[in-house]
Amino acid sequence: MIPHVSGVEVVCDLTRGEVVCDLTRGEVVCDLTRGEVVCDLTRGEVVCDLTRGEVVCDLTRGEVVCDLTRGEVVCDLTRGEVVCDLTRGEVVCDLTRGEVVCDLTRGEVVCDLTRGEVVCDLTRGEVVCDLGCGEMGRFDCLGVRGRFETSGVRGRFETSGVRGRFETSGVRGRFETSGVRGRFETSGVRGRFETSGVRGRFETSGARGRFETSGARGGFETSGARGGFETSGARGGFETSGARGGFETSGARGGFETSGARGGFETSGARGGFETSGARGGFETSGARGGFETSGARGGFETSGARGGFETSGARGGFETSGARGGFETSGARGGFETSGARGGFETSGARGGFETSGAKGGFETSGAKGGFETSGAKGGFETSGAKGGFETSGAKGGFETSGAKGGFETSGAKGGFETSGAKGGFETSGAKGRFETSGAKGGFETSGAKGGFETSGAKGGFETSGAKGRFETSGAKGRFETSGAKGRFETSGAKGRFETSGAKGRFETSGAKGRFETSGVKGRFETSGVKGRFETSGVKGPRG
């Protein structure tokens, strides 16, 4: 059956477990026989081969490559590379050779700005600046405003105080590191890597692609109109916030939803596609939430909570994992890339040291009860033994664990196959409900609940998944994607189109009282946190409030 909606092809061959969706060439291709999802968003490709646990994303060559078999994330932002080898706890970033190298095993951040070096050894809370030939560089070592303008069109590295930023290449590239805002705009039009505050995000490119991580938003949002691989909201893993688009896995939504023009392949409800265990998941393996969550109720690579997506807690975020939820959090209530207290996140001084290794909380603590990247004890992330760890290889819960009863991507135990536990799982190969079942009340990619998914007939049809409302009506003049809550809808056509998701009203409202994300036409507004703030995404620019 091939519904064709205004040039937005949806092809579904259930005999092969295949869904192919061309959203005016913002292709979404999914071959479920291979566990593969391939998405070309006008060549801002997102390719995911689940048989290898691999996610590859080329954002017009601002590549984000994630090989989950190695726990590795590699990102080339038009050669403003960000390379993260999680097996070594290492983050390396080459910004057109304005290198930022961070070896987390040593708690070290090293930045070579075309040899106008800024070297920061967080183990000593030290910032060293060697301008080399620096005629074009400046380092103002003033307590509140230190700024390192290096070269290129804008490149600037403000390091201290409230604003510090690092504009490196391209049009804007900026790396605000401390204070409340920090962001890293690298290439493309705006891409930014805000690490802290209520906003922090790593937008990588495209017209708007972003790797937004904190606030109530976050992570790997890639698509033109709006991303996939967004993680935040109160949901997890490769979710695109709230209950929205692109590779959304959790909340009451779920998995490999690819919106933008407004792709679907949303599968959720209380079920989720590629959701594997717990109540929410998204490459979640245990506990209650999070994508890439591995332990306890929070775990490593967890994206859930009020502030998902590599951010995690406190008022400052940015690889901060403390508080009630963790991003790269591995155990207990804190852990992973966390550093201390309620703030953490590469914070190196003040009341909450960064890369603090001792005490009960430390980031990169290798022993004790809590650590992130902890190798022993009862909880650690990237722990290789014990009962809970993320990327742990044994025990009862771990992510990427290969044995035990629960693990995600676990190959043995009771359920097996890209989720292996719970009653509902996506790509669950056994158990009572197995996802991607073609029978039931509504047929076709329906997993559970009263409505089922991927209904292709009727007046509305298409990618309707679960819950009481949620639906992706692809025909008519309005077409909407209601997902959860009492109202939320995603009207994709006409001049307005909006994506209300959860709560009683919110349009792409993720936190606070207002916020909305109108994606179509010339407006599109993304109010993020607090009561007002907005992100107008259309046109070439998009004011941020």
Q: List the chain domain ranges.
A: 76-193
The reported pLDDT for the residue numbered 104 is 33
The reported pLDDT for the residue numbered 357 is 28
Cβ neighbour number for residue 143 with a 10 Å cutoff: 7
8-31: pLDDT as tens digits: 333 333 333 333 333 333 333 443
48/59 Cα distance (integer angstroms)? 14
The position carrying tokens 């009771």 is 414
Report the run of H or E that residue 93 belongs to, with start and end. Answer: strand 90-95
What single-letter amino acid sits at 482?
Answer: E
Give the model's confidence band at 88: pLDDT under 50 very low, under 70 low, under 90 confident, else very high.
very low
DSSP 149-168: E-SSSS-BB--STTT--B--
The reported pLDDT for the residue numbered 305 is 29
The reported pLDDT for the residue numbered 81 is 34
Average pLDDT, the chain: 30
Q: Distance between terminal CA atoms of the chain?
A: 44
263/243 Cα distance (integer angstroms)? 13
268-309: pLDDT as tens digits: 222 222 222 222 222 222 222 223 323 322 223 323 322 222
Give the model's confidence band at 419: pLDDT under 50 very low, under 70 low, under 90 confident, else very high.
very low
The reported pLDDT for the residue numbered 292 is 31
What's the predicted TM-score (pTM) here?
Answer: 0.13
Parallel, antiparallel or unpaired: strands 8-13 and 18-23: antiparallel
Contacts of residue 5, Cβ cutoff 8 Å, sequence gap at least 6: 462, 474, 475, 479
The position carrying tokens 């940015």 is 318
Which letter, b or e, does each residue of 70-97 get, where b requires 16 or more Cβ atoms within 10 Å of its Cβ? ebbbbbbbbebbbbbbbeebbbbbbbbe
374-410: pLDDT as tens digits: 233 333 233 333 333 233 333 332 233 222 222 222 2
Give the model's confidence band at 179: pLDDT under 50 very low, under 70 low, under 90 confident, else very high.
very low
389/433 Cα distance (integer angstroms)? 27
Q: Are 163 and 181 in contact (CB under 8 A)?
A: yes
| C-alpha to C-alpha distances, 269 to 251, 452, 470, nearest whole angstrom | 8, 9, 8
| C-alpha to C-alpha distances, 498 to 208, 221, 524, nearest whole angstrom | 17, 17, 8
Sign of CA dihedral 237, 540, 527, 334: positive
488-539: pLDDT as tens digits: 333 332 222 233 333 322 233 232 222 333 332 222 333 333 322 333 332 2
183-221: pLDDT as tens digits: 333 322 233 333 322 222 333 322 222 233 222 222 333
The reported pLDDT for the residue numbered 233 is 29
86/94 Cα distance (integer angstroms)? 17
Give the model's confidence band at 62: pLDDT under 50 very low, under 70 low, under 90 confident, else very high.
very low
- Residue 83, helix vs strand vs coil: strand
